[in-house]
Structure 1
Amino acid sequence: MLAELAEHGVPTGIPSVAECIEQGVICLIAYARISDTRRGKNETSGITTQHGCMRMRVRRMGPRYRIVRRYIDNDLSSAKNDYRPEYEAMIDDLIRHTTPEGYPVHGVICTEEDRIYRLPDQWQRFVTAFRSHPGRHFYDHAGHQDLYAEGADLRGLINVTVSLGEIRKKKSRTRIWHEGRAMRGIPHVGVRPFGWSPDGRMSNPEEAPLVRKAVEACIAGESWAGIVRIFQESGIPTRSGGPWRGQTIKQIVANPRNAGLRMIDGTVYMDEETGQPKIGDWETICTVAELEQVWTRYRPRIRRTSRDVLPATGEEPRPAVPAERGRSVDKATKYLLSGHLRCGRVRPDTERPCMAKLRGTATNKGIAGYTYTCPPKSEGGCSGVGRSGPETDRRIEELVITKMKERATRATLTEPFTKEGVITELDRKLDALHRKWLAGEITDERYFTASIDIRDHLVRLQMERTAWKKERKAADGPSMDVDHLWRDGMNLGQKRAIIADMFTMIIVNPVGRGRKTGKEQAIQVVWSQGYE
């Protein structure tokens, strides 16, 4: 983490904005990204290496070139169209032609172009922002690339097409690799599965009998709550050391591995010669017939990534959804507040609030259409709280919209213009340069070349200041249409990300039978820091 922070923002030891302009420095912004750091031992090594390579390249280019700001998107994929906050910040700075510190943006440098874009819409956005000002430079591993040239668009789209082909090939190779292992009966092991040894071949002598007992109970018709109690009373902890939950136990009991099967893309891998399910080369806990009986009650979900940007023919690519402050974004949540609400009922057995996450569930009762309910005891809840879904959504949405309006007005009124010092310094430099020219201390060529660069950048900063003053003045008038933005301008994932950012906790308290939902004491909100 410290290594990542050291490679972010403005590098140390660079000249001031006025000095860079006066000296004719070509100011570059550097972008680095790595897709997946979960398997790596050092999660920032890729980012550090990329910025190190860019620094060495700029040094070789000569003293006129300087990196004035660095952008980092760590553990974010461009192939999956993840929302990349630093990429968006870079696009904004390219359009404004200045960094937040006031440095002009004369070009972009990266180690490879696919660090910035891998999809057609990403290429289009980047090149449009890049070309919003003339004469910029673009550098990657191949050296200088002219993005203004006649064939640049064609070359860029060809590179994107090649990149898409590489993504498809990588997915195809991964699938072939899994099929090859399934064909040879080799188990697939990531994290050690419950009931097996770390290599996935031998059953665990303590855990496997427990899984077998649960399979038998499931076939016998035991309720899932009863099966959960089997695990809870065994004294054997979960792999992570947490409490046993019903969903976790369902996945363990219905795991195809129990009968020696492998599933690829949601289907059981079949033996090509016999046409029957291929039995793997590892110990089994139950037979295929027993597993099929379990599957009549619960079948594992087909895992699919919702961020896959290679849609079927005729479909539109899924848009990236911003993940606020590093929070992950839901993949398939149907209801606005699922997982955000907490049960406030005091449990008799512990005399403490339940605090289980409420779930959104469709219902045929009444006109609500769906409700938020506390899960059963077998899944860590108490089943003691339920609320009308639409009514609860409405109350929380009112709080969110009100807070968004307050923050929009406050931000416009109080956010300072941070580049006033840069404008003052540029004015001083321009006056000093003019006095030197009048005194004959510098040549005409030096004066006019330097003064034009300083004046151009000064004008851009003065225009930014004027726009800031207009925004501040507009805050005294009608507020921005936050209602329209919330209801028509955001999808469900974006709304849920904002709610996750605003609230530390939303507690739903019991209100008793026969009383209306929506009472003031029924919902208690705990605002996140900065939203109080």
Structure 2
Amino acid sequence: MSDDLVRLAQWGKLDGQNWAGLTRLSTEEAEGELSELATDDPSQRRFVTGRDIKSTDEQEKDDREYVEARGGRYVYTYTEPDTSAWKRKRVRLPDGEVVYRVVRPVFEGALTDLKAGKTPTGERLDGLIVYDIDRLTRDPRHLEDAIEVVQHYGRPIIDITGTLDLLTDNGRAMARVITAMNNKSSADTSRRVVRKHKAMQQKGIPGGGPRPFGWNEDRRTLHPEEAKLLRDAAKHLIDGGTFYSILARWEAEGVRTSVGNPWTYRAFKKSMSNPRICGYRSRVDIEFDPETGTEKSHTTIVYDDQGQPVIGLHEPILTVEQWQAVRDIIKESAERGAGHNTRAYLATGTLRCGKEDCGAKLRAMKASPSQKKPEGYYFYQCPARSTRHGCGGVRINGPEADELIRKLVIAKHEEEAAERDAVTAEEVWPSEEKLTNVREDIADARQARRNRQISAERYYQDLAEYEAEERRLLKERGAWQRRARAHHGQPIDMEAEWDRPGITLADRRAYLERAFTAIVVLPVGRGSRAPLRDRLVPIYHDKA
């Protein structure tokens, strides 16, 4: 019967057969013209072509009429709205290998059903019809999958316009040629679109996509209220404030993103670190990590042919110096002080046991009724040996420890404010010349290697040393610049900030984490009554 189905389809006789249609809206690239949904983010880029004039409803109507006019019964429609039959995406195969494939689950499901001879509704399925070959696929791999269904399962796949013939050897050969040419056409158009995007970037013309927070729908003029929120947030961060306090305040005031979503730390960081905020034209780059099999996107500055940042045709919200300062703060906060945690006590996770060979994190423990302590009283205590997470040999008064920690944070903040004041007399980083010399050494080493003046072994050995020195100097310069930039704002009064109305425990913990890597609690000998302040040893973060 299967071979008969293919032969009857060749003759146009579909009497007594059940057929399904595959309809698809194309999101293939137009002839070099971007749709209104165009964006710099390749993962979000969409295109519309003239082929989309025939909607899925119209395709279904034509498929049904074609089948019924030849005596067949139309029983089901597989619809693929907004699906590309050409663009590849990263996927992970069952064996773990990461590859790029055209992803079309509806198409693949239709072929699976056709092999089995049954629709998702349980109807018998004899064949599949599409409007034309372009509706079926533009990917040679998917074409071969369709050919397999016809050749080896005896299920016909036909079209209305006559551009698709998978029922004969000659027709299959021609289908391969047409699909290859369609695939090349899509690739050529994609290249033109990329070139047009690059030209727009070089001219500073804003990209598409959702409206960026801080700007109006034209993406060029500022939204007054939102722009002020971003300026105030930048000043708060530069002056020593936390991300969490900004987000908490915005949540309380009902501030939402440009698409109406609540602000998250990730979204806030992305908005504040985008070069667009200081007037530069930016773009989204996507990098693939072959070791992890993942893609990471990040926003970068667009540079002109002379290597200078392209100034966008939009109003800036921050100065370049302010943006650089915020960007440095964001880099620091990736490891500490973001203020996002759910701990119920100030020093949990920061206090550590000072007994030899322990170093465990102290836990907060409420006092039992038998200890006759005030209501809500608690200790910070090293976990017992039985837990295998500590030695159980250190315990301190919780409220007293929190008060001492408050004083340590305030003292540290005041010390840093004094350091910022000390750098204002210098406008240029003192070691700038050293950094220039190291970079010249790196360039000389590369040129010497290209000229075969030094061996590869010597080159890589020297390069490792130069690059290590460059990283050290860049870190030192970043710390100096942050202190210098912070001087231009009014530093936070930490003593007032610690007790301000509305401050949260997460805020205080963020200030604590930004000041200290840990606070070690020294043990006391039997019978000793050393004051707690003498037992706390703060371990400061290296600001350089």
TM-score band w.r.t. shorter chain: 0.3 to 0.5
TM-score normalized by structure 2?
0.44
TM-score normalized by structure 1?
0.45
